[in-house]
């Protein structure tokens, strides 16, 4: 069966081809009665606009690029963070009748490929996710003058709007909770030092302890379960008397729980544990994990709304960062 054409719709509606094109592309310059006739003809004929041709007219693709600066093994691991972000971004764009394309950029070749793809006009805007300090994409995209919003505070000096959760405030709440529980020796499993979420969560930990007689004790992880287990082993070697640990993600906290169990430390009797994110698995650990609830999906949805609203860099004007609150969720691990 031959695909209905724009000309066929025009003939059915009794209008010009140009008028049909204006209706299909959402122009407001068409009279309501004529618009109704065109839409009726579109429905009767089953006409589907040619997206490639339409993009030549409107200069829009109705597609947003979600650029993740992590290798595939990390993105598609057991860390639910990435799937939650993709779901939130995808659902918000679907509601706006747009789509998302996932672009991975974890190497120089990946960065160059994303830059070429964006420069080719394949997307109307970009969301940057999981950036590291040396990431060249913010500067590259700024040169292309494409609308960009960052998931999380940008590491680089590039000016762009961003949405995030209150990482500093959340970590402060976690450490204060442990102090209120009477813990004297509170350690921290921090994330990668080239990522702002990790930097801010470590900052909150140190700020609270700086006002007490407790000294900080920090081991670095990379937000994964395995790194949390290794960091916990290091902390126990550095200070066997520690009685609490705050991990910068739930996955690292889950890894810490495994190490503590193997070391014969009871949680929370011997060592209290607090995580960050409140992923679903946090409710099912043994014991259930006290954590900081991070509104991951709502942050992702907010980023889309900022991008579609056009609140991006424009000369000296820049949209104010949108920082969503976090919440302490107390369970049996503390």
Residues 6 or more apart whose Cβ sits within 8 Å of residue 112:
none
Within a domain: residue 331?
Answer: no
**Cα–Cα dist 219/237, whole Å:** 11
Residues 6 or more apart whose Cβ sits within 8 Å of residue 45:
4, 8, 9, 12
Mean pLDDT of the chain: 89
Shared-domain flag, residues 138 and 200? no
239: left (phi over 0), alpha (psi -120 to 50) or beta: beta
- Report residue 204 as tokens: 């909150």
**Cα-flanking dihedrals φ and ψ of residue 310, to 5°?**
80, 15
Shared-domain flag, residues 302 and 157? yes
Within a domain: residue 136?
Answer: yes
The residue ranking higher by pLDDT, 52 or 178, is 178
Full-model pTM:
0.81
Tell me the per-residue pLDDT of 82-122, one tens digit each, with 9 for 90 and over.
999 999 999 999 999 899 999 999 888 888 899 888 888 88
Shared-domain flag, residues 144 and 178? no
Within a domain: residue 330?
Answer: no
CATH number of the domain that 140 lies in? Answer: 3.40.50.2300
Shared-domain flag, residues 285 and 175? yes
What domain range includes position 30? Answer: 6-58
Shared-domain flag, residues 102 and 137? yes
Within a domain: residue 289?
Answer: yes
Shared-domain flag, residues 262 and 171? yes
With CA atoms as reference, report the closest residue to 178 among 156, 209, 157: 209
Shared-domain flag, residues 176 and 86? no
Instruction: Determine the longest span between alpha carbons in the chain, in angstroms.
Output: 85
Within a domain: residue 25?
Answer: yes
Cα separations in angstroms, 111 against 20, 37, 82, 204: 40, 47, 19, 32
Tell me the per-residue pLDDT of 171-216, one tens digit each, with 9 for 90 and over.
999 999 999 999 999 999 999 999 999 999 999 999 999 988 888 9
Shared-domain flag, residues 148 and 268? no
Tell me if 111 sits within 8 A of 136, measured CB to CB: yes
Shared-domain flag, residues 113 and 136? yes
Tell me the per-residue pLDDT of 113-155, one tens digit each, with 9 for 90 and over.
998 888 888 899 999 999 888 788 888 888 888 899 999 988 7
- Report residue 122 as tokens: 């394949």
Total structural domains in the chain?
3
The residue ranking higher by pLDDT, 24 or 54, is 24
Residue 317 has pLDDT above 60, yes or no: no
Instruction: Print the SS3 string covering 146-195.
Output: CCEEEECCCCCCCCCCEEEECHHHHHHHHHHHHHHCCCCCEEEEECCCCC
Burial class (CB in 10 A: 0-12, 13-18, 19+), 78: exposed
SS3 assignment, position 285: coil
Shared-domain flag, residues 153 and 182? no
Burial class (CB in 10 A: 0-12, 13-18, 19+), 92: buried
């Amino acid at each position: 069966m031959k695909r209905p054409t724009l000309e066929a719709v025009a003939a059915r509606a009794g209008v010009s081809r140009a008028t049909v094109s204006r209706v299909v592309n959402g122009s407001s310059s068409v009279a309501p009665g004529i618009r109704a006739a065109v839409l009726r003809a579109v429905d009767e004929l089953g006409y589907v606009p040619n997206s490639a041709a339409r993009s030549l007219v409107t200069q829009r693709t109705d597609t947003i690029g979600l650029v993740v600066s992590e290798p595939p093994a990390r993105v598609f691991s057991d860390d639910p963070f990435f799937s939650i972000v993709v779901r939130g971004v995808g659902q918000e764009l679907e509601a706006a009748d747009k789509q998302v394309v996932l672009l991975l950029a974890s190497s120089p070749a990946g960065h160059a490929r994303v830059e070429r793809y964006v420069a080719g006009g394949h997307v109307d805007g970009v969301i940057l996710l999981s950036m590291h300090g040396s990431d060249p994409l913010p500067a590259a995209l700024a040169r292309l003058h494409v609308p960009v919003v960052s998931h999380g505070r940008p590491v680089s000096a590039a000016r762009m709007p961003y949405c995030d959760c209150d990482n500093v405030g959340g970590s402060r709440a976690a450490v204060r909770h442990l102090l209120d529980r009477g813990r004297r020796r509170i350690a921290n499993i921090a994330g990668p030092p080239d990522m702002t979420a990790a930097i801010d969560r470590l900052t909150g930990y140190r700020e609270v302890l700086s006002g007490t007689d407790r000294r900080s004790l920090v081991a670095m992880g990379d937000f994964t379960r395995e790194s949390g287990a290794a960091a916990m082993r290091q902390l126990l070697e550095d200070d066997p008397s520690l009685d609490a640990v705050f991990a910068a993600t739930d996955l690292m906290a889950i890894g810490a729980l495994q190490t503590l169990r193997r070391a014969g430390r009871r949680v929370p009797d011997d060592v209290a544990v607090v995580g960050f994110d409140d992923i679903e698995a946090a409710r099912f650990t043994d014991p259930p994990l006290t954590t900081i609830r991070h509104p991951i999906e709502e942050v992702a949805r907010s980023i889309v709304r900022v991008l579609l609203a056009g609140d991006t860099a424009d000369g000296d004007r820049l949209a104010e960062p949108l920082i969503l609150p976090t919440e302490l969720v107390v369970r049996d691990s503390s």
